[in-house]
Chains A and B, each alone.
Chain A
Amino acid sequence: MGVLSELIKGLRVTGGTMLRTITGDELVTTEYPKEMRAKPQRFHGRHVLNRYPDGMEKCIGCELCAGACPAQCIYVRGEDNDPENPKSPGERFGYVYEINMLRCIFCGLCVEACPTEAITMTHLFEFSTTNREDAIYTKETLLMDRRGSVPHMFPDDELADLDELDSADGWLRATAPSGVAAYEGVKMWQGTPGPGDWSPEPSQEERDRPTSDRDADG
């Protein structure tokens, strides 16, 4: 009775799953716009152009991001800074900065290419537009404001989660220079958008402890 036992096996799988889903143990979906899953820290979302704490733009208009982009969706034009009223600390600044979100594949190579960590990625992911032109994000949209928040495309939208902008960017945390022992105990410059203060870099010893102990310490 091979067929029959296979049949019962199949029914047991679905029946068991049903009971576990009803109790909530195995439910994997959420009611999306109402509640959202926590995104992973290194989530590749919408780009943002960062500023230094003094309000200077980080972008120096070097076009390395545009060169690194495999989808060729970034268009940058640099311009010399006005010495009296510079926009960035260097000689030049990004005069035009456009990303075509219809072409972008969210690979993050622009972030890696950037020498000043001017471009990073946020957790924003809801880009839908009713117009193809709206999918081309200009510097106006991409550059964060002086408070340190990313301008949201649709701040009035009921789906917009403005708190999301304040969460620290995962990519920068992952690639911060704090792997070097010299930085131990030093409070690093917060390279991501959003207010708040980070704790000093932990020591190598602290870092090597298993995660479970670290969480227990709070």
Chain B
Amino acid sequence: MSWPEFWIVVLRVLATFALLLLVTLINVWAERKILADMQSRLGPMRAGPWGILQTLADGLKLFFKEAVTPRRVEIGMYLLAPFLAVVPAFLIFMVVPWGKPFTIGEYEVALQGADLNIGLLFILAMSSLAVYSVVLAGWSSGSKYPLLGGVRATAQAISYEAAMGLAMVAVVMFSATQGEGGTLSLSELVERQAGTWGDVIPALEPALQFVPRWNVFPQIVAFIIFFIAIVAETNRAPFDLVEAEQEIVGFHTEYSGMRFAMFFLAEYVNIFSMSAIAATLFLGGWNGPTFEGSVPAIVSGILPTIWFLAKTYFLVFLFIWVRASLPRLRYDQLMQLGWKRLIPGALAWLVLSTAVISFRQFGPPWSM
């Protein structure tokens, strides 16, 4: 690896990191604003225009707060847990492409932290790791209610990760038919969603020529299951039993100051990353009209990033909308939805989707 290549990689990672921090600042504010609007309130109005700097003010406040350590904590795990929450949250987003690759001279720059060829596996691994922070934080606090939160997190993560993984499998299998061989690389998955469905199905060209070739159309069931699963994965309402302010306060009850801020940060980074992954898998990632040729090159270079952010923010808005509307599930309802609805549903969809794919590829089974 030559030096320019090395610096390009460093800059890519830094840019991705900065983007993530920036959108998180905006996300926290946006959530409070949208929730306020849905509850006929004004929301934060003081820090900056329309309170847009509120998150910054809150962050500064938390930074200067004392980090209280209760007496009965398991100190090692207790101190480790916040970092275990933040690190996977940032790593998940590192494999998501957030813009169209461009070239500077002889070097190609992908707008992505790292283009792993096992991107999806990496995402699954990291989102599983994130659960450790919750469990360890709950357990090491040496307090009853955080422990309850941690225990709930374990069960919830196991239940919903299965559905999430199965939904991903359906998409990956479908995506394998859209190009040469299967792939787990997110940039490859995005490129396979370029164009419109009219290009793929010439028979229906006039009807489908404006329908983008996103996976969400053939894989709508997988998308719904995936979305429900990521809401549960990020411990958001109506699946926020892990926090459940009204009953157990949550796994981070015993955390304060910057340590609490890290859990908070991780939650919002996770919302954005998971929405970004859903947008990448199902909504075509950064694909979208760039009007190349008719607008300046800089505009058509930035447009893919804007499409990506628009799709992601649509899903983030859904997260917030759902939070504002739905009451929290009871524990048995959570388990019932996970094991009796989502996992069988995802399995059935996987079987159906596989059957259709193999039928189209190999013809009816009796023809072989």
Contacts and interface: CB of A to CB of B under 8 A. Distances in A.
A26 B38 contact: no
Nearest to B45: A31
Nearest to A20: B40
Given A11-B322, A11-B325, A18 B37 contact: yes
B37 A21 contact: yes
A203 to B, nearest CB: 42
B321 A11 contact: yes
Contacts of A10: 325-326
A18 B34 contact: yes
Contact of B37 (A13, A22, A30): A22
Nearest to B41: A29
A14 B38 CA distance: 5
A7 B238 CA distance: 12
Interface string A28-41: 11110000000000
Contact of B40 (A7, A11, A27, A31): A27
A15 B37 CA distance: 9
Contacts of B326: 7, 10
Contacts of B40: 17, 20-21, 26-29
- Chain B interface, >50% SS class: helix
B103 interface: no
B69 to A, nearest CB: 32
Nearest to B337: A3
Contact of B38 (A18, A28, A31): A18
Interface residues of B, number: 14
Contacts of A21: 36-38, 40-41
A211 B39 CA distance: 33
B38 A17 contact: yes
Contact of A13 (B34, B45, B325): B325
Interface in B320-338: 321-322, 324-326
Interface in B15-66: 34, 36-42, 45
B74 to A, nearest CB: 41
A13 B325 CA distance: 8
A11 B38 CA distance: 10
A21 B39 CA distance: 8
Contacts of A29: 40-42
Contacts of A31: 42, 45
Contacts of B324: 14
B37 A17 contact: yes
Contacts of B45: 31
B276 to A, nearest CB: 22
Interface in A28-82: 28-31
A14 B41 contact: no
A7 B327 CA distance: 10
Interface string B302-331: 000000000000000000011011100000
B39 A15 contact: no
A202 B39 CA distance: 43
Contacts of A22: 37
A26 B39 CA distance: 9
A29 B324 CA distance: 18
B32 to A, nearest CB: 13
Contacts of B41: 21, 27-29
Nearest to A19: B37
Interface of B: 34, 36-42, 45, 321-322, 324-326
Q: Which 6 A-B pairs have the closest CB atoms?
A: A10-B325, A18-B37, A14-B38, A21-B37, A14-B325, A18-B38
6 contacts: A11-B321, A13-B325, A17-B37, A18-B38, A21-B38, A29-B40
Interface of A: 7, 10-11, 13-15, 17-18, 20-22, 26-31
Given A14-B325, A28-B41, 14 more contacts: A13-B325, A14-B324, A15-B321, A17-B37, A17-B40, A18-B37, A18-B38, A20-B40, A21-B36, A21-B37, A21-B38, A27-B42, A29-B41, A31-B42
